[in-house]
Structure 1
Amino acid sequence: GEGPGALLARAGEALGQARASDGAMLRFAHPGNVAPLDLLGADLHHAIERGEIDIVFQPQVSIKTGRITGVEALARWRHPTLGPLGADPLFAAAERADLGLALSDHIQQIALQRAAHWPTSLSHLRLSINVTAADVARAGFVQLFLDRVAASGFPLEQLTVEIIETGLIVELDRAARVLDQLRGAGVRVAIDDFGTGYSSLVYLTGLPVDYIKIDRALVSHIDGADRDRIVVRGVIQIAGQLGLGIVAEGVETAEQAYLLGQLGCETYQGFLRAGGLEEDALVAMVEEEIQCAA
């Protein structure tokens, strides 16, 4: 007796949980096995106040040296009954509850404050934080964001903002102006999940960016068929000719990292090195690198 809309909503919620998990897994979209977004949205109203929304840092690694050069701040919801929830269900719940901007503000502020107080061993790392389409469309966002960075004390020149390419389609001209102002202030700009949208090449010509992040969907098959490698090689070559840096997402094997390096990719992030780390674990990993290099 369930309508197609409700069925697809449950399937989407199950998919969001699977994507947020630490590895490949199945999620069955039975009623009761996934939390409805309406309930998560209601919980989210109080989650920020209770400090349940937090971040972890995923390393970004130089393929050439094997050293960690930066991190991406990833949102996590430590739900009291459902356990850890990743960014997909978190932002889906925020959209349902009309809390997208409040959530984005909260995550950016936490990430900047944490990174501003990093120990010396992490002081050389770049910090990447996510900016949403709603942020870009917000009146006065650039000054609000720059004021937030200044208040945290984190160096602008070590900061990268990542924006998901599918969120730029409607407001491409406005996004270009916003990103240009951020770059003028010293912030680097990356297009996240590159290759999943239908207008990827338009973004390369129409937006002022410094990096592209190749989506895991392209990376995951690079060690398979020749056709997959050809597509990734084409993306890397175009980016290189435009003077853009390249970060590959979702790298899980040494062979994938090697092939990406052979194709000209400089940096990767993925479970080959680590998933999202608490700050203590990140410090331990970087300090071990420093000791090994000494």
Structure 2
Amino acid sequence: MARRGATIVPPVDAARGDASRWRMGLLWLLALTAIVVAGVSTVAITKLQKDAERSSELRLLLTEMQSAAWQQSTIRLEAVMANRLSPSAAQTRQEIHDYIDAIGDHFSLRDPGNPQAQAVQDTFETYDHAVDEEFILLGRGDIGGAQRLDAERAAPAYKQMTLALADADRHYKQQVDNASARAQLGAGLIVGSGALIMLLLVWQSHRLRSRSFRRATYQASHDALTGLPNRVLLHQRITRSVDADTGAALLLIDLDRFKEVNDTLGHHYGDHLLIEVAQRMQAILGPEPTVARLGGDEFAVLLPGVSNAQDVAALAGDLQKALAEPFLLDGLSLTVAGSIGAALCPQHGSTADELMQRADIAMYAAKTRRAGYLLFDDSQDSTDPRKLTLASDLRRAIDQNQLTLHYQPKVDAHTATVLGAEALIRWHHPEHGMVPPDEFIPLAEHTGLITPLTRFVLDTAVRQCRSWMLDGHQLSVAVNISTHQLLDLGFPTTISDLLTHWQVPARLLTLEITETAIMADPDRALQTVQQLHDLGVQLSIDDFGTGYSSMAYLKTLPVDELKIDRSFVSRMTTSERDAIIVRSTVELGRNLGLNVVAEGVEDSATRDQLDAVGCNAIQGYYISKPVASTGFGDWLTEHANLAAASPTRKV
């Protein structure tokens, strides 16, 4: 019996209530599940996003390792071609080495337990050790040893590292792809409860990942300072142009005097100047050609579909004109110039590496000859086996003091008093015998060995001058100076330090310069000559009359002496034209207050004519052939004895 006041729940209603509560609990459970799934999926997607970005960053590092290794290979190739590792190239290589070491060392720690990462680290260490040893050999001038090491160790190590880099890149690309697939699966799990939210998250994840990948790709293929394509992207575009078989031209541009801007005004102005140069070249060339920055002050221009030498020369001229216009930087007006080398496809190469190499050789030749622009030809290529051997041997000869100096006396044309001597370098090669100066001196200029060679000649000659002083002879010594030294604004300081070291008065050193060297860059040459003159060094224009445009600068150059070229002197007794040239030069020198020296005097008749026209000094085989330093004292004694025995005899 039911109690009063109690509510009786029908069995059906109770069942409905229980079902409702069960459904409500289920809904809450589903809702909670959806929330948990959404939360877990969100966390999972965030992790996937980070994993994808991390994998993309590792791919970028792999790309940068590949690029840095390629740049080291390029520097090694340039050093082999030039037969020397220049200080600037050594510094650039060291910067690349430090950068790639920061990536390659402990690469496995960036992805612990991953065999691909470990393989990258292992192969990198093998490659790095081999390349370090190779550049040590290059720095010592052992080109042959470096090439052998490259063939035996560095090249195989580079190949193994490249394979490891490619395998790791595929692995990390797969990780990126897998992460994307799992993120999409996570999005599908929460469609029912949070489709919109998850859709936004997936979209955001995809957007961030794409942005990260695009940024990484761009950074790996473009110069950070100028935004131009870098060496890697340029190489790819050259390859595409070559494969298209429609012809192409490649120009390499090296800025002249850029180092002065950096050293004098600082890197801020140097960077600003590089940006302005990049923008100006792009404005001149338009959108079709590729303008790239290869590093430092070196740029490149790729012209697809252009293979006509005249068209390339015209475009190079436009670039030079554009670069010659002043750059206004923070109120300062700066001027630079560019040495341009060009190579054509297929005439000069059928691969990207060949074109880069040939254009680089042409650019180096243009810079060395101060020609402005040169198109590659075989005569510029110093990879001839004999030249390579001689260059390597010359470097060793300089380092090991295998070179000697001979001294050709210079005497007063009237009294035969010994005034001094000209230092002439001699190289007795252990295998080739006596190598003519006109063979190894141009080689030194082409390979950059002219600087240490000139330093050796100057140091030896000034030391010999000091020796003569100690023996009681106040004799001057004359040394020939190349264009490179004449255009080096730091050269006067080198001379000053040398004279101070050997305690030789500046007046006893004569530097012989040619008209051609002066005309290479008259304004710059004038600065150097003026500083040398201020030191008290005697300056002589050598081979006078064989150059060009010297008259315009003769009145402004603070020189002390003219040397009449032997081609005029040796024929003056048989050729009235040559005799007139000699007489005119002597008169010109006298009117300008300059001493005049005639070289190439080989007989008494020539000496008598020179004395008659008032030439100050003479030099040549009639006086004496070049004498080794060990025999010069004996020659002085013999000459003095002859003069004492025959007071009326001039020589």
Q: Structure 2-normalised TM-score?
A: 0.39
> Would you say 1:254 and 2:610 are equivalent positions?
no
Bigger shift: residues 284-293 or 52-61: 284-293
Contact 2:405-2:629 at 8 Å conserved across structures: no
* Cα deviation code 1:106-154 (max 9, x no counterpart): 1111111122122655622111112221012123111121101211222
> 2 CA distance for matches of 1:192 and 1:212?
7
What's 2:507 paired with?
A: 157
What's 1:222 paired with?
A: 572
* Cα deviation code 1:42-64 (max 9, x no counterpart): 22121112222121111001111
SS of equivalent to 1:190:
strand
> 1 CA distance for matches of 2:446 and 2:577?
39
Contact 1:63-1:261 at 8 Å conserved across structures: yes
> 2 CA distance for matches of 1:38 and 1:128?
30
> Would you say 1:241 and 2:241 are equivalent positions?
no
> Would you say 1:283 and 2:633 are equivalent positions?
yes
What's 1:51 paired with?
A: 401
Give the drift of 1:290: 3.1
What's 1:69 paired with?
A: 419
* Paired AA for residue 205 in structure 1: K
Q: Which runs of 5+ in 1 are unaligned?
A: 1-34
* Paired AA for residue 56 in structure 1: H
Backbone CA RMSD of aligned residues: 1.9
Give the drift of 1:194: 0.7
> Would you say 1:78 and 2:428 are equivalent positions?
yes
Contact 2:600-2:619 at 8 Å conserved across structures: yes
What's 2:306 paired with?
A: none
> Would you say 1:137 and 2:487 are equivalent positions?
yes
What's 2:551 paired with?
A: 201
> 1 CA distance for matches of 2:530 and 2:607?
31
- Select the structure that is richer in strand: 1
Equivalent residues in 2 for 1:116-131, closer than 5 Å: 116-118=466-468, 120-121=470-471, 123-131=473-481
* Paired AA for residue 124 in structure 1: Q
C-alpha spacing 1:47/1:280, structure 2 compared with 1 (3 Å):
closer
Contact 2:512-2:539 at 8 Å conserved across structures: yes
> 1 CA distance for matches of 2:458 and 2:411?
22
C-alpha spacing 1:288/1:279, structure 2 compared with 1 (3 Å):
same
SS of equivalent to 1:169:
helix
- Select the structure that is richer in helix: 2
* Greater length-normalized contact order (CA 8 Å, ≥ 6 residues apart): 1
C-alpha spacing 1:64/1:124, structure 2 compared with 1 (3 Å):
same
What's 1:23 paired with?
A: none
> 2 CA distance for matches of 1:66 and 1:281?
19
Q: Structure 1-normalised TM-score?
A: 0.83
> 2 CA distance for matches of 1:83 and 1:67?
35
> 2 CA distance for matches of 1:113 and 1:140?
21
What's 1:99 paired with?
A: 449
- Aligned pairs, number: 261
SS of equivalent to 1:48:
helix
Q: Which runs of 5+ in 2 are unaligned?
A: 1-384, 645-651
> 1 CA distance for matches of 2:518 and 2:630?
35
* Paired AA for residue 488 in structure 2: R
What's 2:530 paired with?
A: 180
Give the drift of 1:100: 1.2
Contact 1:121-1:287 at 8 Å conserved across structures: no
* Paired AA for residue 563 in structure 2: K
> Would you say 1:37 and 2:392 are equivalent positions?
no
What's 1:232 paired with?
A: 582
> 1 CA distance for matches of 2:389 and 2:445?
13
What's 1:108 paired with?
A: 458
C-alpha spacing 1:144/1:206, structure 2 compared with 1 (3 Å):
same
Bigger shift: residues 243-252 or 131-140: 131-140
> 1 CA distance for matches of 2:541 and 2:435?
24
> 2 CA distance for matches of 1:122 and 1:172?
39
* Cα deviation code 1:243-278 (max 9, x no counterpart): 110000111111111111111111111100112101
